[in-house]
């Protein structure tokens, strides 16, 4: 009889804990800032600063974030994939600095156009509408956030 009571209590506590983890993984907040790091012969290198905030009373385990930069739903560049698990303690945040290598100049010309690419090469001030996409998994559940912003040079 005691085994049944102890097993029921353990099952109830584990279901409650898993429910809190699932709710916590949906409450995570992410912010991203993107800027042009440098212009090279092969293309442009962007730098993305990703801030993940955990406003929950439980710590979260997540996969290192993967970032894609899009313009009109076409890929401009992406970060490297890292097979690393990170823990964010309760009520805290972590910040990641990711280097994003863009596609080559020919692809950039096809996506952005020759006028914009020549302005980038000359260093003239420009503004480009981009979409940023953060992809990761939080406590084993997939997490994805897309945000639209303006990239300025």
What CA–CA distance (Å, rounded) separates 152 from 53? Answer: 26
Bridge partner residues of 92 (DSSP): 54
CATH for 126: 2.60.40.10
pLDDT tens-digit readout, 23-69: 544 577 888 898 888 888 888 888 999 998 888 888 888 889 999 99
Residue-range definition of the domain harbouring residue 94: 2-152
* Tally of structural domains, the chain: 1
Annotate 10-76 with DSSP letters as a single string: HHHHHHHHHHHHHHHHHH-EEEEEEEEEEE-SS-EEEEEEEEEEE-SSS-EEEEPPEEEEEETTEEE
Between 22 and 100, residue with greater pLDDT:
100
pTM of the model: 0.75
Question: What is the tens place of the pLDDT at every residue in 124-149?
Answer: 888 889 999 988 888 777 888 888 88
User: For 1-11, how does the pLDDT look when each residue is reduced to its tens digit (9 = 90+)?
Assistant: 666 776 666 66
Q: Of all helices (H) and strands (E), which one includes residue 112?
A: helix 105-112
Q: Answer yes or no: is pLDDT of 86 > 60.
A: yes
> CA–CA separation, 100 vs 108, rounded Å?
14
């Amino acid at each position: 009889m005691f085994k049944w009571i102890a097993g029921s209590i353990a099952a109830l506590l584990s279901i409650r804990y898993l429910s809190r983890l699932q709710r916590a993984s949906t409450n995570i907040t992410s912010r991203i800032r993107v800027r042009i790091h440098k212009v090279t012969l092969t293309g442009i290198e962007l730098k993305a600063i990703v801030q993940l905030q955990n406003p929950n009373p439980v710590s979260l385990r997540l996969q290192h974030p993967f970032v894609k930069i899009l313009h009109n739903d076409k890929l401009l560049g992406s970060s490297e994939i890292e097979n690393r698990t990170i823990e964010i303690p309760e009520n805290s945040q972590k910040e990641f600095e990711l280097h994003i290598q863009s596609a080559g100049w020919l692809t950039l010309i096809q996506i952005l156009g020759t006028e914009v690419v020549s302005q980038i090469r000359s260093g003239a001030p420009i503004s480009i509408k981009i979409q940023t996409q953060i992809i990761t998994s939080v406590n084993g559940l997939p997490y994805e956030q897309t945000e639209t912003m303006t990239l300025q040079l």
